[in-house]
């Protein structure tokens, strides 16, 4: 009887110890995860905020700063919001086009006449930078497959009354050149100051 009673007590004590250990383990793990999630939330929140700030900074020049704006005879308005030298010897020009033609605009006269760029469809592949002082014209860059490093206006073009963003990349003029003319299609040339990219 003594032996049975002792075994019963041992089983109860063992069960209580195991249950207590499991509860402590669960509580410890739960607390650790909460701490980790709080730490992750607090550490990711600033990172997200930084990335959001970065996005806001990159979008602000496009929406707020207009370096140049020209109007075509057919109701198109071309705005340039950024013209930056990149570290790799390129110039990236960005901006918007607003369609007030009364119909869908497909960028037909903005396409390049070059055979290599013919497959780019409705795009800004016919754009160029003109260095008046150096008397040089810089054509749009393209990749090895003949695709322009520029915006292609896909999905049927730009609806009437709509504004669409675009970009185009060119070889960089010499460092001494600070001002260029951006030309595309039948739009008047737009003079812009080149800024230094980050």
Residue 175 belongs to a domain with what CATH number? Answer: 2.60.40
- Residue 37: its pLDDT value, please? 39
* Total number of domains constituting the chain: 2
**What residue numbers bound the domain in which 24 lies?**
1-62
- Residues 25 and 55 placed together within one structural domain of the fold: yes
| CA gap 94, 169 in Å, rounded | 9
- Residue 20: its pLDDT value, please? 54
Q: Which value, to the nearest 10 degrees, does the dihedral of the CA atoms of residues 107, 113, 118, 122 take? A: 0
- Residues 53 and 142 placed together within one structural domain of the fold: no
- Residues 128 and 52 placed together within one structural domain of the fold: no
Q: pLDDT class for 196, splitting at 50, 70, 90?
A: confident
Answering whether pTM is above 0.75, one says no
Boundary of a domain, candidates 62, 78, 107: 62
Boundary of a domain, candidates 62, 79, 96: 62
pLDDT at 145 over 60: yes
- Residue 64: its pLDDT value, please? 63
Boundary of a domain, candidates 45, 62, 79: 62
pLDDT at 52 over 90: no
pLDDT at 3 over 80: no
Strand stretches in the chain, DSSP E: 68-71, 76-85, 90-99, 128-131, 136-139, 163-171, 179-183, 190-193, 195-196
Instruction: Tell me the CA distances in angstroms from 198 to 55, 87, 94, 195, one per residue in order.
Output: 15, 8, 15, 10
- Residues 39 and 103 placed together within one structural domain of the fold: no
């Amino acid at each position: 009887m003594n032996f049975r009673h002792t075994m019963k007590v041992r089983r109860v004590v063992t069960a209580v110890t195991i249950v207590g250990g499991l509860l402590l383990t669960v509580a410890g793990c739960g607390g650790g995860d909460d701490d980790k999630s709080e730490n992750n939330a607090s550490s990711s929140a600033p990172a997200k905020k930084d990335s959001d700030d970065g996005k806001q900074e990159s979008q602000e020049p496009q929406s707020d700063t207009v370096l140049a704006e020209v109007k075509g005879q057919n109701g198109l308005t071309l705005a340039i919001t950024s013209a930056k030298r990149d570290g790799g010897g390129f110039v990236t020009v960005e901006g918007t086009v607003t369609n007030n033609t009364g119909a869908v605009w497909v960028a037909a006269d903005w396409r390049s006449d070059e055979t290599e760029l013919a497959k780019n469809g409705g795009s800004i592949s016919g754009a160029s930078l003109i260095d008046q002082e150096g008397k040089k014209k810089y054509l749009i860059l393209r990749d090895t497959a003949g695709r322009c490093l520029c915006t292609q206006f896909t999905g049927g073009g730009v609806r009437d009354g709509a504004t669409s963003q675009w970009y185009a990349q060119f070889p960089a003029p010499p460092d001494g050149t600070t001002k260029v003319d951006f030309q595309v299609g039948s739009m008047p040339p737009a003079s812009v100051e080149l800024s230094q990219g980050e």
